[in-house]
Copies of this chain bind each other. A is one copy, B any other.
Amino acid sequence: VSKVVFDISVSLDGFITASGQTADEPLGTNGERLHEWAFKDERGQQALSEAMQRTGAVIVGRRTYDDSIRWWGADGPVGSARLPTFVLTHEAPASSPEGGVYTFVTDGIEAVVEQAKAAADGKNVGVGGGADTGQQLIRAGLVDEVILHVVPVLFGGGTRLFGELDEQLELEQIGADASERAAHLRYRVVR
């Protein structure tokens, strides 16, 4: 069964970018610190590789797309896999890389999830980078699992993963372990 998984790296103080974001450093000063576990930890690499195998499509927000397209090119966030990538946006951009994996979805979050699930062909749908997109989907009850990779650094500023919500939301903890450079916490969203 296809699950929608919001999987993101976050500093211990809850930021998904540091302050000092620029076009060259979209994650802010030292922001790449958040992803070291995925490249340098043996267990991290393995977990990432397994998650990739299970993922058949990706949803990203428009800001993440705009910040990242110069690195992603036509192949999307997981280049080697060329996963179908659905960009939640108010308006499709004027141009996009030729032969690209991107579909621009302008009719809302239910639609983007529906299209991504269809494209995932039984595999999971990954919700990538973008706190707003992730939170919108969680609030709408469209996310099945939240996976946080908590990195032992205090950024002290930047983009917060979790902003203010109108109501409390219970999650069910389904796993917590550690690789050398991060704690990996897994939750099921309680409907």
Contacts and interface: CB of A to CB of B under 8 A. Distances in A.
A18 interface: yes
B173 A181 contact: yes
Q: How large is the interface on A (under 10, 10 to 19, 20 to 34, 35 or more residues)?
A: 35 or more
Contact of A168 (B155, B173, B187): B155
A178 B173 contact: yes
B14 A171 contact: no
Contacts of A138: 154
A187 B154 CA distance: 12
B176 A178 contact: yes
A173 to B, nearest CB: 4
Interface string A144-181: 00001010111111001110111111111101111011
A183 interface: yes
A83 interface: no
Nearest to A171: B152
Interface in A101-149: 138, 148
A176 B177 contact: yes
A16 B187 CA distance: 19
Contacts of A161: 13
Contact of A171 (B30, B153, B184): B153
A177 to B, nearest CB: 6
Contacts of A181: 173
Interface of A: 12-14, 18, 29-30, 138, 148, 150, 152-157, 160-162, 164-173, 175-178, 180-185, 187
10 contacts: A14-B14, A14-B162, A18-B168, A152-B173, A153-B171, A154-B169, A156-B164, A156-B165, A175-B178, A176-B177
Given A155-B168, A156-B165, A177-B177, 9 more contacts: A12-B148, A12-B185, A13-B165, A153-B169, A155-B165, A156-B166, A173-B181, A173-B182, A183-B183
